[in-house]
């Protein structure tokens, strides 16, 4: 087997459910169930529903109440989790292989037969409202949220995944059931199962618990791709010591061939411990304790963020330094020599190998590739292209994509929170 390859088998069941089984010599099994719905596809009235349904699936099924379900999940002795993002809602369990059949049965019950108990719903509204309010105290989360709000005019990326307090407070059981019935159907779901079992055995387990799952999902709204607004905006928040600066580039012009050089550029720009921005802002000037970039190449999202926190008097200088770093890359004043490229390629290969070696990560990666309609072995093409990547490719992608950012500054203030002003 090719060193970049792994043993997988993909089958679409008669009900439309896509099942990917991964055979790996391991004592730990993992299962990921991805529902192809997230905040990107919610209308104004539905904001927060994907995330809220994720919560409610842990609150009981038609055969298990809340306490019973969670005791049985705990009894697996492994890790169980769920999350909602803009593109999908994911439920996962990693456990000893001897427990994987129980794990599949529990997740199937949650996915196929949630009860949406009215009393649990009322309690969970309070929980999610607390989550929303708590997020306002997280300075980084708040900074990214405010940046997205000013970056986009129409795109759902301007909305929080968790929803708004107004929407959550007005939620009714019928709203959840209606949304669930639209999208929680087998043809809108991918199941990935990693185990040491033969593919046929693993597939039979999925068939047993998901084979009778019926129905067709409604067509999702088309995801709106919108170029970010070129603006410098600011907000104010009390009880802050430092100001934050957040950049956002929406990569609407991104093409498949741009992705690999962009990943390499992102690593050198702000993802590594010895990045360009880290060296300039912290090591050379002492302006910031930390600075980092975040690249999200999920289909229909495609954004790059830069984040740092500095003193009030250093804001203007910090923005000038960040802008100069970006321009110096575009103008090839920052040199990507063979040594630098070799290191960045090695880091990228290490990340791929890490995913292949970690069963839980591999299971999750495969599931997300399938949800996005991408090839499971896409990274193999990347490994081939990596050898031919050169500095010209990196400069070209910087010139193409790193233009006209949204810049948001969150400043300390004794005034009313979130008093905003656009410059």
Mean pLDDT of 269-297: 95
Q: How many CA atoms lie within 13 A of 149 on its CB side?
A: 18
User: pLDDT category, 388, cuts 50, 70, 90?
Assistant: confident
Residue 215, domain member (yes or no)? no
CATH number at residue 275: 3.30.830.10
For the chain, the average pLDDT equals 93
Residue 218, domain member (yes or no)? no
Q: Which residues pair with 22 in a beta bridge?
A: 8, 194
Residues 116 and 256 in one domain: no
User: pLDDT category, 230, cuts 50, 70, 90?
Assistant: very high
Residues 241 and 203 in one domain: no
The mean-pLDDT minimum among 9-13, 55-59, 370-374 falls in: 370-374
**What pLDDT was estimated at residue 273?**
81
User: What number of other Cβ atoms are within 10 A of residue 215's Cβ?
Assistant: 14
By the 8 A CB rule, do 11 and 191 touch? no
**pLDDT digit string (tens) for 119-137?**
999 999 999 999 999 988 8
**What pLDDT was estimated at residue 414?**
57
What percentage of residues in the chain have a pLDDT greater than 70?
Answer: 97
355-372: string of b/e by CB count within 10 Å (b at 16+)? bbeebbebbbbbbbbbbb
Residue 220, domain member (yes or no)? no
Residue 170, domain member (yes or no)? yes
More confident residue, 61 or 222: 61
Angle, CA 76 vertex, CA 187 and CA 86 arms, to 5°: 40
401: containing domain? 231-422
Please state the separation of Cα 341 from the chain's center in Å: 27
**What pLDDT was estimated at residue 5?**
75
Mean pLDDT of 368-384: 86
**What pLDDT was estimated at residue 2?**
61
Residues 242 and 180 in one domain: no
| Residue 420, pLDDT above cutoff 50 | no
Domain boundary among 157, 175, 210: 210
Mean pLDDT of 35-52: 95
**DSSP structure string for 38-78:** -GGG--GGGTTHHHHHHHHTTSBBSSSBHHHHHHHHHHT-S
Torsional class of 16: left (φ above 0), alpha (ψ -120 to 50), beta (otherwise): left
| Residue 376, pLDDT above cutoff 90 | no
| Residue 394, pLDDT above cutoff 70 | yes
Residue 89, domain member (yes or no)? yes
Please state the separation of Cα 314 from the chain's center in Å: 31
Residues 195 and 64 in one domain: yes
Residues 329 and 239 in one domain: yes
Residue 26, domain member (yes or no)? yes
Residue 221, domain member (yes or no)? no
| Residue 382, pLDDT above cutoff 90 | no
**What pLDDT was estimated at residue 423?**
43
User: pLDDT category, 415, cuts 50, 70, 90?
Assistant: low
Domain boundary among 210, 242, 257: 210
Residues 310 and 181 in one domain: no
By the 8 A CB rule, do 376 and 369 touch? yes
User: pLDDT category, 3, cuts 50, 70, 90?
Assistant: low
Residues 304 and 389 in one domain: yes
Residues 341 and 387 in one domain: yes
What is the total count of domains within the chain?
2
Domain boundary among 210, 243, 273: 210
Residue 224, domain member (yes or no)? no
**pLDDT digit string (tens) for 130-182?**
999 998 889 999 999 999 999 999 999 999 999 999 999 999 999 999 999 99
The mean-pLDDT minimum among 16-20, 43-47, 91-95 falls in: 43-47
Residues 48 and 195 in one domain: yes
By the 8 A CB rule, do 236 and 419 touch? yes
Residues 277 and 326 in one domain: yes
User: pLDDT category, 244, cuts 50, 70, 90?
Assistant: very high
Residues 188 and 277 in one domain: no
Mean pLDDT of 319-336: 96
| Distance separating alpha carbons of residues 223 and 156, to the nearest angstrom | 8
Residues 187 and 48 in one domain: yes
412's tokens: 């300390």
**What pLDDT was estimated at residue 73?**
97
């Amino acid at each position: 087997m090719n060193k970049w390859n792994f043993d997988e088998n993909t089958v679409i069941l008669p009900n439309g459910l896509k099942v990917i089984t991964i055979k790996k010599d391991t004592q730990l099994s993992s299962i990921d169930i991805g529902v192809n719905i997230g905040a990107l596809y919610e209308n104004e009235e539905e904001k927060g529903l994907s995330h809220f349904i994720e919560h409610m699936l842990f609150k009981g099924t038609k055969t298990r109440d809340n306490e019973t379900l969670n005791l049985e999940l705990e009894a697996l002795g492994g890790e169980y989790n769920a999350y909602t993002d803009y593109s999908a809602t994911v439920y996962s369990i990693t456990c000893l292989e001897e427990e994987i059949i129980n794990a599949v049965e529990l997740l199937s019950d949650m996915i196929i037969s949630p009860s949406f108990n009215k009393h649990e719903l009322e309690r969970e509204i309070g929980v999610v409202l607390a989550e929303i309010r708590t997020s306002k105290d997280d300075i980084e989360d708040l900074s990214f949220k405010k940046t997205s709000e000013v970056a986009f005019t129409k795109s759902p990326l301007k909305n929080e995944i968790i929803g708004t307090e107004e929407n959550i407070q007005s939620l009714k059981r019928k709203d959840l059931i209606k949304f669930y019935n639209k999208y929680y159907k087998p043809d809108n779901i991918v199941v990935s199962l990693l185990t040491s079992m033969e593919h046929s055995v693993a597939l039979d387990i999925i068939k047993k618990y998901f084979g009778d799952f019926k129905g067709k999902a409604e067509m999702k709204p088309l995801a709106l791709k919108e170029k970010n607004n070129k603006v410098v905006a600011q907000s104010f928040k009390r009880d802050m010591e430092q100001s934050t600066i957040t950049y956002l580039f929406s990569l609407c012009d991104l093409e498949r061939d741009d992705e690999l050089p962009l990943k390499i550029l992102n690593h050198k720009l702000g993802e590594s411990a010895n990045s360009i921005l880290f060296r300039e802002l912290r090591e050379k000037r002492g302006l910031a304790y930390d600075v980092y970039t975040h690249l999200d190449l999920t289909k229909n999202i495609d954004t790059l963020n830069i984040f740092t926190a500095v003193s009030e008097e250093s804001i203007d200088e910090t923005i000038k330094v960040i802008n100069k770093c970006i321009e110096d890359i575009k103008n090839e004043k920052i040199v990507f020599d063979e040594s630098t490229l070799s290191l960045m390629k090695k880091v990228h290969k290490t990340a791929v190998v890490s995913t292949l070696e970690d069963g839980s990560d591999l299971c999750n990666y495969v599931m997300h590739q399938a949800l996005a309609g991408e090839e499971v072995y896409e990274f193999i093409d990347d490994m081939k292209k990596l050898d031919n990547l050169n500095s010209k490719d990196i400069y070209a992608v910087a010139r193409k994509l790193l233009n006209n950012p949204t810049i948001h500054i969150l400043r300390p203030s004794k005034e009313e929170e979130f008093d905003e002003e656009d410059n």
